[in-house]
């Protein structure tokens, strides 16, 4: 029930700008599977390309944060923003990158504790301690 | 400009249930500093105690996620929930636990990318791939 | 799976305050179709009437913002508030009022960019430039 | 009270990757003014560049949606995401691009009506009409 | 630092549509005090009137929910939507209508518990029990 | 389509820490029914226990706010946080505790009015009146 149609591989073959990104996704991820997010985005080839390039630059680079933790931060934001698809896709990816059931439980504990204290702090409008300002 | 008064140390001395938690915070954190969040919460000693016990159980235990990463996940949720105080306090704590400027930049990159794709996915109402369902 | 029953036309016939609004919706929109939102609202005739009057006053008047753009702003808010029904209904209405696939792609690009920078700004707690204050 | 320092022009002079973006912002906007958002982002030159390129690709291109309306959609999302800085900066820019007080009033009317009906629909969990699914 | 100017009494005197609403607010609330929300709204007299009429119809009528509880529900929504002004104004009003410190503590406990479980449920994407569907 | 499996009674029998909480839920609620939230949480027995203890301490105690109103405040937060499961479960519980259709209509009216004015206030960035600061 998407608001756009999902571009099939057959359709992608006919749109070079889409085919190029789909090919790059497959090569970068070493899988033939293209998930629905990209098939929906393919309705706007420029947006598809920009988003994929952004994702590669942020999620698929070497850095201080390891790949599994990147997915876990992604999940945290997606929960707070109530994005059902994102929660499903990034939980699957975090698991594929090694997140155990125990680590997932820790993640949910932190996310839900943060939400609880976020609402307490916002409710009481607690003033920022000068000690927290650099 | 909190909606409650901030309980001072002098006031806490007179409320045993508050003093006990303040003492425990100081002992657990090895610092004399009690930040405003706890001083605001101290208006309701039972809520203060419950929240502090919850925080200890989630943030101050050994586990698979290291202490700095726990703070970074906390920041991610606090940003998505627009909690200004929480962002300041947990960014300060993440830095105290070793978060470098470079790691912080990576965190912000992931959080903002997630928000961007959260809104794209929600806008297009992308259906969940069967592959993502365990 | 609504939390209220959806009032049918047969039921509306028996509640004058509901029938009056349903008739007005049909006349104003020049269609016999009453969508589920109004059928759910009809459980509280006063709320139904107030909401319909509000909608007419904001969305069905001549003004500086054209009808298609009004729907697009509605979509933007509904995405940020994660309202699935609203996204579906207002995307359908924006399309009925002339939103092309290309324009829809532009809308999604703006909404998702805004979400990305919203999270960056909130994360860094950027102080407001004096130049932006009138 | 940002969580990062704001990079001054003097500092930017010493970081070629930042100076290049600042120069491009000044050239593209035909003004010497660099607002705090970019000065905060400059702590991470790669994120700065990526965000500026994204903004140019979405907000500074010819398209079906005119520049003033783009800013108005940006405002709508920023309100729903409670981003104070973003609201200030994009309201200033929408005004600079021609948004009158009257049009601004229409925008606020639509945004707040959408929020009202978003919460009604979500509260009642209204099922999506088949008519809205393409 | 509002994005609009706050209409003073002197200015309101010159705009009959504004003066009429201000007079009605003063009469209905039995006070001379007009808070900034209405002074900001007064930039758009039609929006001002519509909003005031909506507020009277919802918050100033006899009903099953008592006036203090109405304000407490208002606070709950305002916290979840991170509206600082709303939190301040409705907390003040709830207190004026009898909310004690103890009751306020109970409210904050419920609001923050709800936020915690909201995030847990959304994170785990818990399927709705058939028992909850009427 | 949860991201975790739902623990059945047969499985709970084999995990003492889960069985103990399930037994306590059944005893406290005087029903054999264990809803999916707890079955999902049971994947992490410590989180399950902590959450159940928190719920008992907040929702199942004598206090100034009556049980039905507690559920209504829960619903308000769950709507603003877009938590579908929570809306269904707490609406069912509010009804079981006496919420009539009329009272529910009042609740929805307040929640949606609050959302409308939240967005207006945030959009206009209305400064807090000194009168609202205690």
Largest CA distance in chain F: 59
A46 with C105: Cβ contact below 8 A: yes
Sequence-distant contacts of E29-33: CB under 8 A, at least 24 apart: E33/F131
pLDDT tens, position by position, B42-74: 999 999 999 999 999 999 999 999 999 999 999
In whole angstroms, what separates CA A8 from the centre of its chain? 22
Using a CB-CB cut-off of 8 Å, the residues of chain F touching A104 are: 3-4
Nearest CA in chain F to D125: F84
A119: closest CA of chain F, how far (Å): 10
Model confidence band, residue C15 (pLDDT cutoffs 50, 70, 90)? very high
Distances (CA, A) of D2 to A128, B106, C123, C125, E2: 12, 17, 9, 5, 20
Model confidence band, residue E119 (pLDDT cutoffs 50, 70, 90)? very high
Short-list E19, E40, E21, CA closest to E29: E21
Look up tokens 């700065």; give the residue.
Answer: D48
Q: Does A5 touch chain D (CB under 8 A)?
A: yes
Model confidence band, residue D1 (pLDDT cutoffs 50, 70, 90)? confident
- C-beta separation of E64 from F106 below 8 A: yes
pLDDT tens, position by position, F79-128: 999 999 999 999 999 999 999 999 999 999 999 999 999 999 999 999 99
- Which residues 6+ apart lie within 8 Å of B117 measured at CB? A37, A51, A55, A86, C112
Question: Which two three-digit tokens encode residue D13?
Answer: 């002079």
E88 with B3: Cβ contact below 8 A: yes
Q: Is the pLDDT of residue C134 over 70?
A: no
The HSE-up count of residue B82 (CA atoms within 13 Å, CB side) is: 24
- C-beta separation of E25 from E52 below 8 A: yes
Eight-class DSSP state of F65: S
- State the chains in contact with B (3 or more Cβ–Cβ pairs under 8 Å): A, C, D, E, F
- Which residues 6+ apart lie within 8 Å of C95 measured at CB? C104
Using a CB-CB cut-off of 8 Å, the residues of chain C touching A4 are: 101, 104
Please tell me which of the candidates C87, C102, C112 has its beta carbon nearest to residue A3. C87
Residue D6: what pLDDT? 97
Q: Is the pLDDT of residue C1 over 70?
A: yes
Eight-class DSSP state of C130: G
Distances (CA, A) of E18 to B112, C42, E9, E36, E47: 42, 33, 10, 14, 10
Question: Which two three-digit tokens encode residue F19?
Answer: 């069985």
Q: Does F3 touch chain C (CB under 8 A)?
A: no
Q: Does F104 touch chain C (CB under 8 A)?
A: yes
3-state SS, chain E, equals CCCCCCCCHHHHCCCHHHHHHHHHHHHHHCCCCCCHHHHHHCCCHHHHHHHHHHHHHHHCCCCCCCHHHHHHHHHHHHHHCCCHHHHHHHHHHHHHCCCCHHHHHHHHHHHHHHHHHHHHHHHHCCCCCHHHCC
Nearest CA in chain A to B74: A114
Using a CB-CB cut-off of 8 Å, the residues of chain E touching B1 are: 88
Radius of gyration of chain D (CA): 19
Give me the total of CB pairs closer than 8 Å, taking one residue from chain B and one from chain F.
16
Question: Which two three-digit tokens encode residue C120?
Answer: 């960056």
* DSSP three-state, residue F51: helix
Distances (CA, A) of E15 to E19, E46, F115: 6, 12, 28
First-to-last C-alpha distance (Å) of chain F: 48
D47 with B87: Cβ contact below 8 A: no
Q: Where are the alpha helices (DSSP H) in C2-99?
A: 9-12, 16-29, 36-41, 45-59, 67-80, 84-96
- Which residues 6+ apart lie within 8 Å of F91 measured at CB? C3, E132, F75, F99, F104
Name the stretches of chain A with pLDDT < 50: none
Nearest CA in chain A to B79: A77
pLDDT tens, position by position, E48-89: 999 999 999 999 999 999 999 999 999 999 999 999 999 999
Eight-class DSSP state of C34: -
Q: What is the mean pLDDT of residues C3-14?
A: 97
Using a CB-CB cut-off of 8 Å, the residues of chain F touching A91 are: 3
* DSSP three-state, residue B53: helix
- State the chains in contact with C (3 or more Cβ–Cβ pairs under 8 Å): A, B, D, E, F
Q: What is the mean pLDDT of residues C55-73?
A: 97
- C-beta separation of C82 from C72 below 8 A: no
- C-beta separation of D113 from F116 below 8 A: yes
Model confidence band, residue B35 (pLDDT cutoffs 50, 70, 90)? very high
In whole angstroms, what separates CA D72 from the centre of its chain? 9
Q: Is the pLDDT of residue F130 over 90?
A: yes
In whole angstroms, what separates CA A106 from the centre of its chain? 19
B107 with A51: Cβ contact below 8 A: no
Q: Does B5 touch chain F (CB under 8 A)?
A: yes
Sequence-distant contacts of C91-94: CB under 8 A, at least 24 apart: C91/A3, C91/D132, C92/D131, C92/D132, C92/D134, C94/C68
Q: How far apart are CA E84 and CA A36, in angstroms?
A: 38
Question: Which two three-digit tokens encode residue B96?
Answer: 């105290």
Please tell me which of the candidates F43, F50, F81 has its beta carbon nearest to residue A82. F81
Residue F134: what pLDDT? 64
C54 with E50: Cβ contact below 8 A: yes
pLDDT tens, position by position, F23-76: 999 999 999 999 999 999 999 999 999 999 999 999 999 999 999 999 999 999
* DSSP three-state, residue B125: coil
Residue A133: what pLDDT? 85
Residue F133: what pLDDT? 85
Residue B85: what pLDDT? 98
- C-beta separation of F125 from D82 below 8 A: no
Q: How far apart are CA D35 and CA B119, in angstroms?
A: 25
Q: How far apart are CA A37 and CA A2, in angstroms?
A: 10
Give the length of chain E. 134
Question: Which two three-digit tokens encode residue E85?
Answer: 């002004």
Residue C133: what pLDDT? 85
Ordered by where they begin, the domains of chain B are: 1-61 (1.20.1290.10), 64-134 (1.20.1290.10)
Residue E1: what pLDDT? 80
pLDDT tens, position by position, D96-109: 999 999 999 999 99
**Phi and psi based region of residue F82 (left: phi greater than 0; alpha: psi -120 to 50; beta: remaining):** left
Q: How far apart are CA D30 and CA B47, in angstroms?
A: 54
Nearest CA in chain B to F80: B81
Q: Does E64 touch chain F (CB under 8 A)?
A: yes
Among A91, A106, A119, pick the best mutation site for testing chain E contact (most E Cβ within 10 A). Answer: A119
Give me the total of CB pairs closer than 8 Å, taking one residue from chain B and one from chain C.
62
């Amino acid at each position: 029930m998407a608001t756009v149609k999902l571009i099939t591989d057959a359709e992608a073959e006919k749109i070079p700008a889409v085919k190029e990104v789909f090919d790059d996704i497959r090569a970068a991820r070493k899988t033939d599977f293209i998930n629905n997010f990209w098939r929906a985005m393919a309705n706007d080839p420029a947006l598809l390309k920009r988003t994929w390039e952004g994702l590669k630059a942020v999620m698929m680079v070497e850095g201080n944060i390891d790949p599994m933790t990147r997915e876990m931060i992604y999940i945290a934001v997606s929960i707070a923003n109530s994005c059902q698809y994102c929660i499903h896709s990034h939980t699957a990816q975090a698991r594929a990158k090694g997140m155990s059931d125990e680590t997932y439980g820790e993640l949910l504990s932190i996310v839900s504790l943060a939400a609880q204290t976020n609402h307490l702090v916002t409710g009481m409008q607690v003033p920022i301690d000068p000690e927290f300002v650099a």
